[in-house]
Structure 1
Protein backbone atom coordinates (compact mmCIF):
# COMPACT_ATOMS: atom_id res chain seq x y z
CA UNK A 1 0.00 0.00 0.00
CA UNK A 2 2.90 2.39 0.72
CA UNK A 3 4.89 1.65 -2.43
CA UNK A 4 3.30 4.33 -4.66
CA UNK A 5 3.94 6.98 -1.98
CA UNK A 6 7.51 5.78 -1.50
CA UNK A 7 8.13 5.86 -5.24
CA UNK A 8 6.71 9.36 -5.45
CA UNK A 9 8.88 10.55 -2.56
CA UNK A 10 11.99 9.07 -4.18
CA UNK A 11 11.18 10.78 -7.49
CA UNK A 12 10.71 14.13 -5.74
CA UNK A 13 13.93 13.64 -3.77
CA UNK A 14 15.78 12.97 -7.02
CA UNK A 15 14.30 16.11 -8.59
CA UNK A 16 15.23 18.19 -5.52
CA UNK A 17 18.81 16.86 -5.58
CA UNK A 18 19.02 17.55 -9.31
CA UNK A 19 17.99 21.17 -8.75
CA UNK A 20 20.47 21.53 -5.88
CA UNK A 21 23.20 20.03 -8.09
CA UNK A 22 22.64 22.94 -10.48
CA UNK A 23 23.32 25.35 -7.63
CA UNK A 24 19.65 26.13 -6.98
CA UNK A 25 18.50 26.51 -3.39
CA UNK A 26 15.50 24.30 -2.62
CA UNK A 27 13.03 23.96 0.22
CA UNK A 28 9.97 21.74 0.74
CA UNK A 29 6.45 22.62 -0.32
CA UNK A 30 3.45 20.84 1.15
CA UNK A 31 2.71 17.62 -0.76
CA UNK A 32 0.56 18.32 -3.80
CA UNK A 33 0.55 22.10 -3.26
CA UNK A 34 2.54 25.29 -3.93
CA UNK A 35 2.69 26.35 -0.26
CA UNK A 36 5.89 26.17 1.85
CA UNK A 37 6.02 23.26 4.28
CA UNK A 38 8.15 25.10 6.85
CA UNK A 39 7.21 26.25 10.33
CA UNK A 40 6.29 29.86 11.00
CA UNK A 41 7.90 32.24 13.45
CA UNK A 42 5.28 31.55 16.15
CA UNK A 43 6.14 27.83 16.22
CA UNK A 44 9.87 28.13 15.52
CA UNK A 45 11.84 25.68 17.74
CA UNK A 46 15.00 27.87 17.52
CA UNK A 47 17.07 24.79 16.68
CA UNK A 48 18.89 23.55 13.57
CA UNK A 49 18.91 26.23 10.84
CA UNK A 50 16.96 28.50 13.20
CA UNK A 51 19.37 28.15 16.15
CA UNK A 52 20.34 31.79 15.82
CA UNK A 53 16.77 33.00 15.38
CA UNK A 54 13.83 32.25 13.11
CA UNK A 55 14.75 31.95 9.45
CA UNK A 56 12.19 32.20 6.65
CA UNK A 57 11.98 29.95 3.61
CA UNK A 58 14.35 32.04 1.46
CA UNK A 59 17.03 31.85 4.16
CA UNK A 60 16.47 28.14 4.81
CA UNK A 61 16.52 27.04 1.20
CA UNK A 62 19.61 24.90 0.67
CA UNK A 63 21.83 23.04 -1.76
CA UNK A 64 23.11 20.68 0.99
CA UNK A 65 22.30 17.13 -0.20
CA UNK A 66 22.27 15.75 3.35
CA UNK A 67 19.69 18.29 4.50
CA UNK A 68 17.64 17.63 1.38
CA UNK A 69 17.69 13.86 1.91
CA UNK A 70 16.70 14.29 5.55
CA UNK A 71 13.79 16.55 4.63
CA UNK A 72 12.40 14.45 1.77
CA UNK A 73 12.73 11.28 3.86
CA UNK A 74 9.77 12.54 5.87
CA UNK A 75 7.17 13.09 3.11
CA UNK A 76 6.71 13.46 -0.68
CA UNK A 77 7.20 17.22 -0.58
CA UNK A 78 6.90 19.29 -3.72
CA UNK A 79 9.97 21.36 -4.56
CA UNK A 80 10.32 25.08 -4.02
CA UNK A 81 13.24 26.89 -5.66
CA UNK A 82 14.25 30.18 -4.02
CA UNK A 83 15.08 32.21 -7.11
CA UNK A 84 17.18 34.97 -5.53
CA UNK A 85 19.74 32.81 -3.69
CA UNK A 86 19.82 30.51 -6.73
CA UNK A 87 20.99 33.31 -9.02
CA UNK A 88 17.84 32.97 -11.10
CA UNK A 89 15.27 35.32 -12.56
CA UNK A 90 12.21 33.38 -13.64
CA UNK A 91 9.66 34.87 -16.02
CA UNK A 92 6.22 33.48 -15.19
CA UNK A 93 3.85 33.28 -18.17
CA UNK A 94 0.39 32.88 -16.68
CA UNK A 95 -3.02 32.00 -18.08
CA UNK A 96 -6.14 34.19 -17.73
CA UNK A 97 -8.00 33.23 -14.57
CA UNK A 98 -11.39 33.88 -16.15
CA UNK A 99 -11.33 33.06 -19.84
CA UNK A 100 -14.88 31.93 -20.52
CA UNK A 101 -14.79 32.82 -24.21
CA UNK A 102 -11.38 31.18 -24.70
CA UNK A 103 -9.84 34.13 -26.55
CA UNK A 104 -8.17 36.21 -23.84
CA UNK A 105 -4.43 36.47 -24.56
CA UNK A 106 -2.21 34.42 -22.24
CA UNK A 107 1.11 35.46 -20.75
CA UNK A 108 3.06 33.66 -23.49
CA UNK A 109 1.22 35.71 -26.14
CA UNK A 110 1.69 39.04 -24.37
CA UNK A 111 5.38 38.25 -23.77
CA UNK A 112 5.84 37.48 -27.47
CA UNK A 113 4.12 40.77 -28.27
CA UNK A 114 6.54 42.55 -25.91
CA UNK A 115 9.50 40.95 -27.70
CA UNK A 116 8.06 42.03 -31.05
CA UNK A 117 7.49 45.62 -29.89
CA UNK A 118 11.07 45.88 -28.62
CA UNK A 119 12.53 44.28 -31.74
CA UNK A 120 13.92 41.30 -29.82
CA UNK A 121 13.59 37.56 -30.46
CA UNK A 122 11.74 35.41 -27.95
CA UNK A 123 14.62 34.10 -25.77
CA UNK A 124 15.58 30.44 -25.90
CA UNK A 125 16.17 29.14 -22.40
CA UNK A 126 15.07 26.52 -19.88
CA UNK A 127 11.30 26.31 -19.83
CA UNK A 128 9.10 24.58 -17.26
CA UNK A 129 5.51 23.82 -18.18
CA UNK A 130 3.42 24.57 -15.11
CA UNK A 131 0.51 22.51 -13.87
CA UNK A 132 -1.99 25.11 -15.12
CA UNK A 133 -0.54 25.04 -18.65
CA UNK A 134 1.45 28.25 -18.27
CA UNK A 135 5.21 28.43 -18.35
CA UNK A 136 8.30 29.43 -16.39
CA UNK A 137 11.30 30.76 -18.30
CA UNK A 138 14.49 30.33 -16.27
CA UNK A 139 17.30 32.86 -16.72
CA UNK A 140 20.65 33.35 -15.03
CA UNK A 141 20.32 36.66 -13.20
CA UNK A 142 23.03 39.26 -13.88
CA UNK A 143 25.80 39.47 -11.30
CA UNK A 144 25.65 42.52 -9.08
CA UNK A 145 22.03 43.35 -9.90
CA UNK A 146 19.38 42.55 -7.29
CA UNK A 147 16.14 41.97 -9.17
CA UNK A 148 13.01 41.41 -7.09
CA UNK A 149 9.54 40.16 -7.97
CA UNK A 150 7.24 41.97 -10.36
CA UNK A 151 3.61 41.44 -11.34
CA UNK A 152 2.52 42.53 -14.80
CA UNK A 153 5.30 45.12 -15.17
CA UNK A 154 6.67 43.60 -18.37
CA UNK A 155 3.29 42.71 -19.89
CA UNK A 156 -0.16 41.50 -18.80
CA UNK A 157 -0.02 38.04 -17.19
CA UNK A 158 3.79 38.16 -17.19
CA UNK A 159 5.32 38.15 -13.69
CA UNK A 160 8.92 37.70 -12.60
CA UNK A 161 10.45 35.93 -9.60
CA UNK A 162 13.79 37.04 -8.22
CA UNK A 163 14.85 37.99 -4.69
CA UNK A 164 11.95 37.44 -2.32
CA UNK A 165 10.29 34.94 -4.66
CA UNK A 166 10.19 31.26 -5.45
CA UNK A 167 8.86 28.93 -8.11
CA UNK A 168 7.58 25.37 -7.98
CA UNK A 169 10.31 23.15 -9.34
CA UNK A 170 10.09 20.55 -12.10
CA UNK A 171 9.04 17.14 -10.85
CA UNK A 172 6.42 18.61 -8.51
CA UNK A 173 2.75 17.79 -8.98
CA UNK A 174 -0.47 19.53 -7.92
CA UNK A 175 -4.08 18.45 -8.52
CA UNK A 176 -3.93 20.49 -11.76
CA UNK A 177 -1.04 18.41 -13.08
CA UNK A 178 2.77 18.08 -13.10
CA UNK A 179 5.57 20.59 -13.61
CA UNK A 180 7.59 19.38 -16.60
CA UNK A 181 10.84 20.61 -18.11
CA UNK A 182 13.51 19.80 -20.64
CA UNK A 183 17.22 19.81 -19.82
CA UNK A 184 18.05 23.17 -21.42
CA UNK A 185 20.39 25.31 -19.34
CA UNK A 186 19.13 28.76 -18.30
CA UNK A 187 20.34 31.47 -20.65
CA UNK A 188 21.70 34.77 -19.41
CA UNK A 189 18.88 37.22 -18.75
CA UNK A 190 18.78 39.47 -21.85
CA UNK A 191 20.03 42.99 -21.20
CA UNK A 192 16.82 44.52 -22.57
CA UNK A 193 14.75 42.67 -19.96
CA UNK A 194 17.16 43.79 -17.23
CA UNK A 195 16.66 47.39 -18.32
CA UNK A 196 12.88 47.06 -18.25
CA UNK A 197 12.98 45.51 -14.76
CA UNK A 198 15.49 48.01 -13.36
CA UNK A 199 13.84 51.10 -14.81
CA UNK A 200 10.19 50.36 -15.45
CA UNK A 201 8.79 53.04 -17.71
CA UNK A 202 5.26 54.00 -16.70
CA UNK A 203 2.87 53.88 -19.59
CA UNK A 204 1.47 57.30 -20.41
CA UNK A 205 -2.20 57.54 -19.56
CA UNK A 206 -4.14 59.17 -22.35
CA UNK A 207 -7.29 61.08 -21.39
CA UNK A 208 -10.30 59.26 -22.77
CA UNK A 209 -12.46 61.24 -25.19
CA UNK A 210 -15.79 59.66 -26.04
CA UNK A 211 -16.13 59.21 -29.80
CA UNK A 212 -19.39 59.91 -31.57
CA UNK A 213 -21.39 56.71 -31.17
CA UNK A 214 -24.29 55.84 -33.40
CA UNK A 215 -26.32 52.67 -33.21
CA UNK A 216 -29.35 51.21 -31.52
CA UNK A 217 -30.11 52.33 -27.98
CA UNK A 218 -29.22 48.92 -26.54
CA UNK A 219 -25.97 48.73 -28.50
CA UNK A 220 -24.75 52.21 -27.58
CA UNK A 221 -25.67 51.66 -23.91
CA UNK A 222 -23.74 48.37 -23.87
CA UNK A 223 -20.72 49.95 -25.55
CA UNK A 224 -20.63 52.89 -23.13
CA UNK A 225 -21.06 50.55 -20.14
CA UNK A 226 -18.24 48.24 -21.24
CA UNK A 227 -15.89 51.12 -22.06
CA UNK A 228 -16.37 52.37 -18.50
CA UNK A 229 -15.60 48.84 -17.28
CA UNK A 230 -12.30 48.92 -19.18
CA UNK A 231 -11.42 52.34 -17.78
CA UNK A 232 -12.03 51.06 -14.23
CA UNK A 233 -10.16 47.75 -14.68
CA UNK A 234 -7.88 46.82 -11.74
CA UNK A 235 -4.12 47.08 -12.16
CA UNK A 236 -2.77 44.19 -14.23
CA UNK A 237 -6.21 43.25 -15.59
CA UNK A 238 -6.64 45.87 -18.31
CA UNK A 239 -6.01 43.51 -21.23
CA UNK A 240 -8.26 40.75 -19.90
CA UNK A 241 -11.02 43.24 -19.14
CA UNK A 242 -10.75 44.78 -22.62
CA UNK A 243 -11.06 41.33 -24.18
CA UNK A 244 -14.09 40.42 -22.09
CA UNK A 245 -15.87 43.73 -22.68
CA UNK A 246 -15.28 43.75 -26.43
CA UNK A 247 -16.57 40.19 -26.64
CA UNK A 248 -19.81 41.25 -24.91
CA UNK A 249 -20.43 44.06 -27.39
CA UNK A 250 -19.54 41.98 -30.44
CA UNK A 251 -22.99 40.43 -30.66
CA UNK A 252 -24.49 43.85 -31.41
CA UNK A 253 -22.09 44.15 -34.35
CA UNK A 254 -23.19 40.69 -35.53
CA UNK A 255 -26.84 41.76 -35.34
CA UNK A 256 -26.21 44.95 -37.31
CA UNK A 257 -27.13 47.22 -34.38
CA UNK A 258 -23.82 49.10 -34.51
CA UNK A 259 -20.99 49.24 -37.02
CA UNK A 260 -17.71 47.56 -36.15
CA UNK A 261 -15.36 50.51 -36.65
CA UNK A 262 -17.34 52.56 -34.10
CA UNK A 263 -16.93 49.79 -31.53
CA UNK A 264 -13.22 49.43 -32.33
CA UNK A 265 -12.61 53.17 -32.02
CA UNK A 266 -14.36 53.38 -28.65
CA UNK A 267 -12.54 50.41 -27.14
CA UNK A 268 -9.22 51.54 -28.59
CA UNK A 269 -9.57 54.86 -26.78
CA UNK A 270 -10.66 53.21 -23.53
CA UNK A 271 -7.84 50.69 -23.63
CA UNK A 272 -5.15 53.29 -24.27
CA UNK A 273 -6.60 55.55 -21.58
CA UNK A 274 -6.33 52.58 -19.19
CA UNK A 275 -2.60 52.37 -19.98
CA UNK A 276 -2.45 49.59 -22.57
CA UNK A 277 -0.34 50.06 -25.66
CA UNK A 278 -2.00 50.81 -28.98
CA UNK A 279 -0.74 47.49 -30.40
CA UNK A 280 -2.13 45.51 -27.45
CA UNK A 281 -5.52 47.19 -27.81
CA UNK A 282 -5.79 46.57 -31.54
CA UNK A 283 -4.88 42.88 -31.24
CA UNK A 284 -7.17 42.24 -28.28
CA UNK A 285 -10.16 44.10 -29.73
CA UNK A 286 -9.83 42.39 -33.10
CA UNK A 287 -9.58 38.92 -31.54
CA UNK A 288 -12.51 39.49 -29.17
CA UNK A 289 -14.83 40.92 -31.83
CA UNK A 290 -13.96 38.22 -34.37
CA UNK A 291 -14.75 35.53 -31.80
CA UNK A 292 -17.94 37.21 -30.58
CA UNK A 293 -19.31 37.77 -34.09
CA UNK A 294 -18.50 34.19 -35.02
CA UNK A 295 -20.25 32.77 -31.94
CA UNK A 296 -23.21 35.19 -31.74
CA UNK A 297 -26.59 33.49 -31.50
CA UNK A 298 -29.59 34.83 -33.40
CA UNK A 299 -31.18 37.77 -31.63
CA UNK A 300 -34.39 35.91 -30.78
CA UNK A 301 -32.48 33.18 -28.92
CA UNK A 302 -29.94 35.42 -27.15
Structure 2
Protein backbone atom coordinates (compact mmCIF):
# COMPACT_ATOMS: atom_id res chain seq x y z
CA UNK A 1 0.00 0.00 0.00
CA UNK A 2 1.18 3.54 -0.77
CA UNK A 3 -0.27 6.52 1.09
CA UNK A 4 -0.97 8.48 -2.09
CA UNK A 5 -3.47 6.05 -3.59
CA UNK A 6 -5.16 5.39 -0.26
CA UNK A 7 -5.47 9.14 0.26
CA UNK A 8 -6.83 9.48 -3.28
CA UNK A 9 -9.53 6.91 -2.54
CA UNK A 10 -10.45 8.42 0.83
CA UNK A 11 -10.45 11.99 -0.49
CA UNK A 12 -12.77 11.05 -3.33
CA UNK A 13 -15.10 9.20 -0.96
CA UNK A 14 -15.22 12.25 1.35
CA UNK A 15 -16.65 14.21 -1.57
CA UNK A 16 -19.31 11.54 -2.04
CA UNK A 17 -17.64 10.09 -5.13
CA UNK A 18 -17.85 6.32 -5.36
CA UNK A 19 -14.53 4.57 -5.94
CA UNK A 20 -13.32 1.14 -7.00
CA UNK A 21 -9.85 -0.35 -7.52
CA UNK A 22 -7.90 -0.13 -10.76
CA UNK A 23 -4.86 -2.25 -11.50
CA UNK A 24 -1.74 -0.92 -9.75
CA UNK A 25 -0.04 1.59 -12.01
CA UNK A 26 -2.76 1.27 -14.66
CA UNK A 27 -6.21 2.40 -15.73
CA UNK A 28 -8.08 -0.87 -16.16
CA UNK A 29 -10.39 -2.15 -13.39
CA UNK A 30 -8.89 -4.69 -11.01
CA UNK A 31 -10.56 -8.06 -10.54
CA UNK A 32 -12.21 -10.44 -12.97
CA UNK A 33 -14.05 -9.60 -16.17
CA UNK A 34 -17.67 -10.50 -16.77
CA UNK A 35 -16.70 -13.27 -19.20
CA UNK A 36 -14.50 -14.81 -16.48
CA UNK A 37 -16.82 -14.31 -13.50
CA UNK A 38 -16.60 -17.18 -10.96
CA UNK A 39 -20.15 -16.53 -9.73
CA UNK A 40 -19.05 -16.50 -6.09
CA UNK A 41 -18.69 -13.92 -3.31
CA UNK A 42 -20.22 -10.59 -4.27
CA UNK A 43 -20.99 -12.03 -7.69
CA UNK A 44 -22.88 -15.05 -6.31
CA UNK A 45 -26.21 -13.84 -7.69
CA UNK A 46 -25.08 -11.74 -10.65
CA UNK A 47 -21.80 -10.37 -11.96
CA UNK A 48 -21.11 -6.95 -10.43
CA UNK A 49 -19.46 -4.47 -12.74
CA UNK A 50 -17.00 -1.92 -11.33
CA UNK A 51 -19.68 0.76 -11.34
CA UNK A 52 -21.86 -1.46 -9.16
CA UNK A 53 -18.98 -2.26 -6.80
CA UNK A 54 -17.95 1.36 -6.32
CA UNK A 55 -18.30 2.61 -2.74
CA UNK A 56 -17.76 5.49 -0.33
CA UNK A 57 -17.48 3.16 2.70
CA UNK A 58 -14.21 3.93 4.51
CA UNK A 59 -13.97 0.41 5.92
CA UNK A 60 -14.17 -1.19 2.49
CA UNK A 61 -11.71 1.34 1.09
CA UNK A 62 -9.18 0.73 3.86
CA UNK A 63 -9.54 -3.03 3.48
CA UNK A 64 -8.98 -2.82 -0.26
CA UNK A 65 -6.19 -0.23 -0.53
CA UNK A 66 -4.17 -1.56 2.39
CA UNK A 67 -4.16 -4.93 0.64
CA UNK A 68 -2.59 -3.75 -2.62
CA UNK A 69 -1.50 -0.38 -4.10
CA UNK A 70 -4.44 -0.22 -6.48
CA UNK A 71 -5.04 2.89 -8.51
CA UNK A 72 -8.40 4.57 -7.91
CA UNK A 73 -11.31 4.70 -10.32
CA UNK A 74 -14.19 7.13 -9.71
CA UNK A 75 -17.51 5.76 -11.02
CA UNK A 76 -18.88 8.96 -12.54
CA UNK A 77 -22.56 8.06 -12.89
CA UNK A 78 -23.22 6.85 -9.31
CA UNK A 79 -21.12 9.78 -8.05
CA UNK A 80 -23.44 12.31 -9.67
CA UNK A 81 -20.70 13.48 -12.01
CA UNK A 82 -20.22 14.21 -15.68
CA UNK A 83 -16.54 14.51 -16.56
CA UNK A 84 -15.36 16.03 -19.83
CA UNK A 85 -12.16 14.23 -20.85
CA UNK A 86 -9.88 16.44 -22.96
CA UNK A 87 -7.17 14.22 -24.36
CA UNK A 88 -3.89 14.84 -26.15
CA UNK A 89 -2.61 13.12 -29.32
CA UNK A 90 -1.05 9.75 -28.60
CA UNK A 91 1.60 10.08 -31.32
CA UNK A 92 2.74 12.29 -34.17
CA UNK A 93 0.48 10.29 -36.48
CA UNK A 94 -2.57 10.95 -34.29
CA UNK A 95 -3.86 13.91 -36.29
CA UNK A 96 -7.24 15.66 -36.13
CA UNK A 97 -9.84 15.21 -38.88
CA UNK A 98 -10.42 18.01 -41.37
CA UNK A 99 -12.99 19.79 -39.19
CA UNK A 100 -10.43 20.26 -36.42
CA UNK A 101 -7.27 20.38 -38.54
CA UNK A 102 -5.76 23.37 -36.75
CA UNK A 103 -6.46 22.06 -33.24
CA UNK A 104 -3.54 20.52 -31.33
CA UNK A 105 -5.55 18.70 -28.67
CA UNK A 106 -8.90 18.21 -26.94
CA UNK A 107 -8.54 21.37 -24.87
CA UNK A 108 -8.29 23.48 -28.02
CA UNK A 109 -11.30 21.70 -29.54
CA UNK A 110 -13.34 22.21 -26.38
CA UNK A 111 -12.42 25.90 -26.28
CA UNK A 112 -13.65 26.20 -29.87
CA UNK A 113 -16.90 24.45 -28.94
CA UNK A 114 -17.40 26.92 -26.07
CA UNK A 115 -16.75 29.83 -28.42
CA UNK A 116 -19.29 28.49 -30.92
CA UNK A 117 -21.85 28.25 -28.12
CA UNK A 118 -21.08 31.82 -27.06
CA UNK A 119 -19.85 30.62 -23.67
CA UNK A 120 -16.61 30.93 -21.73
CA UNK A 121 -14.65 27.78 -20.97
CA UNK A 122 -16.20 26.62 -17.65
CA UNK A 123 -14.16 27.06 -14.48
CA UNK A 124 -14.64 23.93 -12.39
CA UNK A 125 -12.79 21.15 -10.56
CA UNK A 126 -10.01 20.10 -12.93
CA UNK A 127 -7.53 17.24 -12.89
CA UNK A 128 -4.41 17.18 -15.05
CA UNK A 129 -4.02 13.69 -16.51
CA UNK A 130 -0.80 11.74 -16.81
CA UNK A 131 -0.47 12.46 -20.53
CA UNK A 132 -1.15 16.19 -20.16
CA UNK A 133 -4.87 16.21 -20.85
CA UNK A 134 -7.54 17.49 -18.50
CA UNK A 135 -10.60 16.12 -16.76
CA UNK A 136 -13.25 18.79 -16.17
CA UNK A 137 -15.64 17.69 -13.41
CA UNK A 138 -19.30 18.79 -13.41
CA UNK A 139 -22.26 17.82 -11.27
CA UNK A 140 -24.83 15.88 -13.26
CA UNK A 141 -28.20 17.52 -13.90
CA UNK A 142 -31.09 16.14 -11.82
CA UNK A 143 -33.54 13.86 -13.54
CA UNK A 144 -31.33 13.16 -16.56
CA UNK A 145 -29.29 9.97 -16.92
CA UNK A 146 -26.44 10.66 -19.30
CA UNK A 147 -24.17 8.01 -20.73
CA UNK A 148 -20.60 8.55 -21.84
CA UNK A 149 -19.53 9.63 -25.30
CA UNK A 150 -16.41 9.05 -27.37
CA UNK A 151 -15.63 11.82 -29.86
CA UNK A 152 -19.28 12.83 -30.23
CA UNK A 153 -18.55 16.44 -29.27
CA UNK A 154 -15.28 16.71 -31.17
CA UNK A 155 -11.81 15.31 -31.71
CA UNK A 156 -10.16 14.23 -28.43
CA UNK A 157 -13.26 15.32 -26.45
CA UNK A 158 -14.95 12.45 -24.60
CA UNK A 159 -17.34 12.44 -21.67
CA UNK A 160 -17.72 10.07 -18.73
CA UNK A 161 -21.05 9.64 -16.93
CA UNK A 162 -23.15 6.50 -16.34
CA UNK A 163 -21.27 3.42 -17.46
CA UNK A 164 -17.88 5.13 -17.23
CA UNK A 165 -15.16 6.19 -14.83
CA UNK A 166 -12.08 8.38 -14.49
CA UNK A 167 -8.72 7.89 -12.77
CA UNK A 168 -8.60 9.87 -9.52
CA UNK A 169 -6.04 12.58 -8.79
CA UNK A 170 -3.16 11.17 -6.74
CA UNK A 171 -2.78 8.08 -8.94
CA UNK A 172 0.16 7.34 -11.21
CA UNK A 173 -0.33 5.61 -14.58
CA UNK A 174 2.76 4.34 -16.42
CA UNK A 175 4.92 6.56 -14.24
CA UNK A 176 2.86 9.68 -14.97
CA UNK A 177 0.85 11.30 -12.13
CA UNK A 178 -2.70 12.62 -12.15
CA UNK A 179 -2.79 15.94 -10.26
CA UNK A 180 -5.48 18.38 -9.17
CA UNK A 181 -5.12 21.52 -11.28
CA UNK A 182 -8.15 23.40 -9.90
CA UNK A 183 -9.38 22.22 -6.47
CA UNK A 184 -12.71 24.06 -6.43
CA UNK A 185 -15.93 22.06 -6.20
CA UNK A 186 -17.48 20.87 -9.48
CA UNK A 187 -20.03 23.28 -10.93
CA UNK A 188 -23.29 22.13 -12.57
CA UNK A 189 -23.02 20.89 -16.14
CA UNK A 190 -23.64 23.92 -18.40
CA UNK A 191 -26.97 23.93 -20.19
CA UNK A 192 -25.45 24.06 -23.67
CA UNK A 193 -23.35 20.99 -22.87
CA UNK A 194 -26.37 19.18 -21.49
CA UNK A 195 -28.28 19.92 -24.70
CA UNK A 196 -25.39 18.52 -26.74
CA UNK A 197 -25.12 15.36 -24.64
CA UNK A 198 -28.64 14.33 -23.73
CA UNK A 199 -30.31 11.81 -26.04
CA UNK A 200 -33.23 12.97 -28.18
CA UNK A 201 -36.73 12.25 -26.84
CA UNK A 202 -38.18 8.84 -27.55
CA UNK A 203 -40.73 8.75 -30.39
CA UNK A 204 -44.35 8.97 -29.32
CA UNK A 205 -46.34 5.82 -30.00
CA UNK A 206 -45.19 2.52 -31.47
CA UNK A 207 -42.84 2.49 -34.42
CA UNK A 208 -44.28 1.22 -37.65
CA UNK A 209 -41.47 -0.05 -39.75
CA UNK A 210 -42.09 -0.95 -43.37
CA UNK A 211 -39.51 -3.64 -44.03
CA UNK A 212 -38.16 -3.58 -47.61
CA UNK A 213 -37.19 -6.68 -49.50
CA UNK A 214 -33.78 -8.09 -48.69
CA UNK A 215 -33.38 -5.82 -45.65
CA UNK A 216 -30.78 -8.18 -44.18
CA UNK A 217 -28.80 -8.10 -47.42
CA UNK A 218 -28.78 -4.29 -47.39
CA UNK A 219 -27.59 -4.33 -43.78
CA UNK A 220 -24.77 -6.75 -44.51
CA UNK A 221 -23.63 -4.75 -47.53
CA UNK A 222 -23.54 -1.68 -45.28
CA UNK A 223 -21.53 -3.62 -42.68
CA UNK A 224 -19.02 -4.76 -45.31
CA UNK A 225 -18.66 -1.20 -46.60
CA UNK A 226 -18.18 0.33 -43.16
CA UNK A 227 -15.71 -2.28 -41.89
CA UNK A 228 -13.71 -1.65 -45.06
CA UNK A 229 -13.75 2.08 -44.25
CA UNK A 230 -12.27 1.37 -40.80
CA UNK A 231 -9.61 -0.87 -42.33
CA UNK A 232 -8.66 1.87 -44.82
CA UNK A 233 -8.62 4.76 -42.33
CA UNK A 234 -5.41 6.65 -41.65
CA UNK A 235 -3.70 5.77 -38.38
CA UNK A 236 -4.78 8.94 -36.58
CA UNK A 237 -8.39 8.65 -37.75
CA UNK A 238 -9.17 5.01 -37.05
CA UNK A 239 -10.94 5.51 -33.72
CA UNK A 240 -13.12 8.25 -35.19
CA UNK A 241 -13.87 6.13 -38.28
CA UNK A 242 -14.89 3.23 -36.04
CA UNK A 243 -17.32 5.58 -34.27
CA UNK A 244 -18.77 6.90 -37.56
CA UNK A 245 -19.01 3.49 -39.21
CA UNK A 246 -20.65 1.82 -36.21
CA UNK A 247 -23.20 4.65 -36.14
CA UNK A 248 -23.91 4.14 -39.85
CA UNK A 249 -24.68 0.44 -39.29
CA UNK A 250 -26.40 0.94 -35.93
CA UNK A 251 -29.77 1.82 -37.45
CA UNK A 252 -29.92 -1.62 -39.10
CA UNK A 253 -29.38 -3.18 -35.67
CA UNK A 254 -32.20 -1.05 -34.27
CA UNK A 255 -34.51 -2.12 -37.10
CA UNK A 256 -33.74 -5.80 -36.55
CA UNK A 257 -32.13 -6.29 -39.97
CA UNK A 258 -28.88 -7.69 -38.57
CA UNK A 259 -27.98 -9.16 -35.15
CA UNK A 260 -26.09 -6.82 -32.86
CA UNK A 261 -23.52 -9.45 -31.92
CA UNK A 262 -22.64 -9.90 -35.59
CA UNK A 263 -22.02 -6.17 -36.00
CA UNK A 264 -19.98 -5.95 -32.78
CA UNK A 265 -17.86 -8.95 -33.75
CA UNK A 266 -17.12 -7.61 -37.25
CA UNK A 267 -16.08 -4.16 -36.02
CA UNK A 268 -14.11 -5.61 -33.10
CA UNK A 269 -12.04 -7.75 -35.47
CA UNK A 270 -11.31 -4.95 -37.93
CA UNK A 271 -10.65 -2.44 -35.13
CA UNK A 272 -8.07 -4.67 -33.48
CA UNK A 273 -6.55 -5.55 -36.86
CA UNK A 274 -5.69 -1.89 -37.52
CA UNK A 275 -4.13 -1.40 -34.09
CA UNK A 276 -6.95 -0.14 -31.87
CA UNK A 277 -6.95 -1.49 -28.32
CA UNK A 278 -9.59 -4.19 -27.66
CA UNK A 279 -11.13 -2.23 -24.79
CA UNK A 280 -11.28 0.93 -26.96
CA UNK A 281 -13.22 -0.97 -29.60
CA UNK A 282 -15.60 -2.51 -27.08
CA UNK A 283 -16.26 0.80 -25.36
CA UNK A 284 -16.91 2.67 -28.61
CA UNK A 285 -19.13 -0.05 -30.05
CA UNK A 286 -21.17 -0.44 -26.87
CA UNK A 287 -21.73 3.30 -26.58
CA UNK A 288 -22.58 3.86 -30.25
CA UNK A 289 -24.90 0.88 -30.66
CA UNK A 290 -26.71 1.59 -27.40
CA UNK A 291 -27.32 5.13 -28.66
CA UNK A 292 -28.50 3.89 -32.07
CA UNK A 293 -30.95 1.38 -30.59
CA UNK A 294 -32.27 4.03 -28.21
CA UNK A 295 -32.72 6.82 -30.76
CA UNK A 296 -33.39 5.13 -34.12
CA UNK A 297 -36.05 6.86 -36.21
CA UNK A 298 -38.73 4.85 -38.01
CA UNK A 299 -37.40 3.28 -41.17
CA UNK A 300 -39.74 5.24 -43.42
CA UNK A 301 -38.48 8.59 -42.08
CA UNK A 302 -34.79 7.69 -42.03
Q: CA deviation at 1:39?
A: 2.1
Q: CA deviation at 1:96?
A: 1.5
Query: Quick one: distance in 1 between partners of 2:139 and 2:61?
Result: 23
Residue pair 1:94, 1:157 contacting (<8 A) in 2 also: yes
Asked if 1:17 corresponds to 2:10, the answer is yes
Query: Quick one: distance in 2 between partners of 1:157 and 1:101?
Result: 10
Asked if 1:72 corresponds to 2:65, the answer is yes
Q: Which residue number corresponds to residue 128 of structure 2?
A: 129
Choose 173-182 or 119-128, whichever is displaced more: 173-182
Residues 1-302 of structure 1: pairs in structure 2 closer than 5 A: 6=1, 9-41=2-34, 42-44=36-38, 46-47=40-41, 49-99=42-92, 105-181=104-180, 182-199=182-199, 234=238, 236=240
Spell out, residue by residue over 1:16-64, the C-alpha distance to the aligned partner (whole angstroms, 9 max, x if none): 01101111110001110001112234243521x3343221111001111
- Long gaps (5+) in structure 2: 96-101, 201-231, 242-302
Query: Quick one: distance in 1 between partners of 2:172 and 2:84?
Result: 20
Residue pair 1:96, 1:104 contacting (<8 A) in 2 also: no
* Change in 2 beyond 3 A, CA 1:233/1:40: closer
Q: CA deviation at 1:185?
A: 0.5
* Change in 2 beyond 3 A, CA 1:150/1:36: same
Spell out, residue by residue over 1:244-291, the C-alpha distance to the aligned partner (whole angstroms, 9 max, x if none): xxxxxxxxxxxxxxxxxxxxxxxxxxxxxxxxxxxxxxxxxxxxxxxx
Residue pair 1:83, 1:165 contacting (<8 A) in 2 also: yes
Q: Which residue number corresponds to residue 273 of structure 1?
A: none
* Change in 2 beyond 3 A, CA 1:16/1:229: closer
Q: Which residue number corresponds to residue 211 of structure 2?
A: none
Query: Quick one: distance in 2 between partners of 1:19 and 1:154?
Result: 27
Q: Please give the secondary structure, in 1, of the residue aligned with 2:46.
A: coil
Spell out, residue by residue over 1:121-177, the C-alpha distance to the aligned partner (whole angstroms, 9 max, x if none): 100000000000001000000011011010111121100000000110111001241
Residue pair 1:157, 1:236 contacting (<8 A) in 2 also: no
* Change in 2 beyond 3 A, CA 1:110/1:176: farther
- Long gaps (5+) in structure 1: 1-5, 201-227, 238-302
Query: Quick one: distance in 2 between partners of 1:185 and 1:97?
Result: 30
Residue pair 1:90, 1:137 contacting (<8 A) in 2 also: yes
Query: Quick one: distance in 1 between partners of 2:54 and 2:94?
Result: 41
Q: What is the number of residues matched between the two proteins?
A: 202
Residue pair 2:39, 2:45 contacting (<8 A) in 1 also: no
Query: Quick one: distance in 2 between partners of 1:236 and 1:104?
Result: 15
Using the size of structure 2 for normalisation, the TM-score is 0.62
**Root-mean-square deviation (CA), in Å?**
2.6
Whichever of the two has the greater Rg, that structure is 1
Query: Quick one: distance in 2 between partners of 1:233 and 1:171?
Result: 32
Query: Quick one: distance in 1 between partners of 2:147 and 2:15?
Result: 21
